[in-house]
Amino acid sequence: MERISVNELKSDTEIISSFILRNKQVFQKKNGEPYLRLTLGDKTGEIQGLMWDNLPKTDDIKTDDLLKIKGRVNSYQGKLQITIQKLEKTDFGDAKPSEFMPVGTQDPNLLLFYLEKIISSVKNKNLSDLLNLFFTQEDFIREFSTCPAGKTLHHPFIGGLLEHTVAVAKICESLFFLYDFLDYDLLITSALLHDIGKTKELKFSSSISYSDEGKLLGHIVIGVEMIDDKVSLIPDFQQELLNQLKHIILSHHGEYEYGSPKMPMTLEALVLHYADNIDAKVNGFKIWMDNRPDSSDPNWTEYWPKMERYLFRTKTSSGNTTEE
């Protein structure tokens, strides 16, 4: 039987399909017996599943497991949910991760073409050599062009890191034309390298999670270590230039409370921080607007705990997306 995606589900229908388990909660009914509340998903979205009877051993199913679900789709308070009659763990077989993880909407070949073009615009030999050590390495390019840029907040999809990096580079390029006293080569290099640590911080197959290295160190520290490794291969790399580049990477989150070991102390660090922030925020807002309409008033979104606000869904912001 062909798998049914979340966005294909309709109320008052019986289904048999497979979904990734995003979250599992065990609650008690009034009579004291347990029931399951599951968040199930694929690349098209998420749906809640409730299992009241004939529960499996709850320790046997874990987040990121692929579950085969038999149940009935119904509507509750304006939202679809599945009343689960039977579930079992299954293997992926011939299924691709892209069936269960969102994928970016931009053409990766065009993004990589732009990446090559902007790398070639960097004239400082030290920085040019550094960029080429990363972006001429096939294994790195493969990881970089498929990696998400985040777990939930922004660009949480296959190819998200590439999309985000190109967007940040374009913003920095535009700002240089407005503020031409900036160091173009340093700014563009930092834009292209600021999130490279995410290739080791994040892991993804059917969902996005953090690696042990990512949990212990974070992508900022990992990224600086990756830069140090490559710089060691470049004879006579200018130490002051390296210090400035590493400072930009270390400070690009802008505030200590957001995970930056340092706050921006150079113009290029300041610009990179805001370029990174604006692209992340715009993408995060767009995803929430597209995917979280308020069921009682579709002109507004559901409350967004992370941003502590509702968002107004204008006509230009409420189009369809596959990004979450």
Q: SS3 breakdown of the chain: % helix, strand, coil, rounded to 5?
A: 40, 25, 35
Count of domains observed in the chain:
2
pLDDT surpasses 60 at 323: no
Which are the contacts of 161, defined by CB distance < 8 A and separation ≥ 6? 144, 145, 147, 148, 149, 155, 195, 198, 199
Q: Quick one: pLDDT at residue 219? A: 97
Q: Give 100's pLDDT tier (boundaries 50, 70, 90).
A: confident
pLDDT tens by residue, 166-214: 999 999 999 999 999 999 999 999 999 999 999 999 988 777 889 999 9
Q: How high does pLDDT run on average in the chain?
A: 90
Q: Quick one: pLDDT at residue 244? A: 98
Phi, psi of 53 (to 5 degrees): -135, 165
Is residue 70 domain-shared with residue 128, that is, in the same domain? Answer: no
Adjacent-strand bridge partners of 90: 66
Is residue 256 domain-shared with residue 112, that is, in the same domain? Answer: yes
Last residue of a domain, one of 92, 112, 146: 92
pLDDT surpasses 80 at 98: no
Q: Give 266's pLDDT tier (boundaries 50, 70, 90).
A: very high
Is residue 80 domain-shared with residue 107, that is, in the same domain? Answer: no
Its domain, for residue 15, covers 6-92
pTM (2 d.p.) = 0.80
Q: Quick one: pLDDT at residue 324? A: 34
The span from the CA of 117 to the CA of 69, in Å, is 47
Q: Which of 64-68, 79-83, 267-271 has the lowest mean pLDDT?
A: 64-68
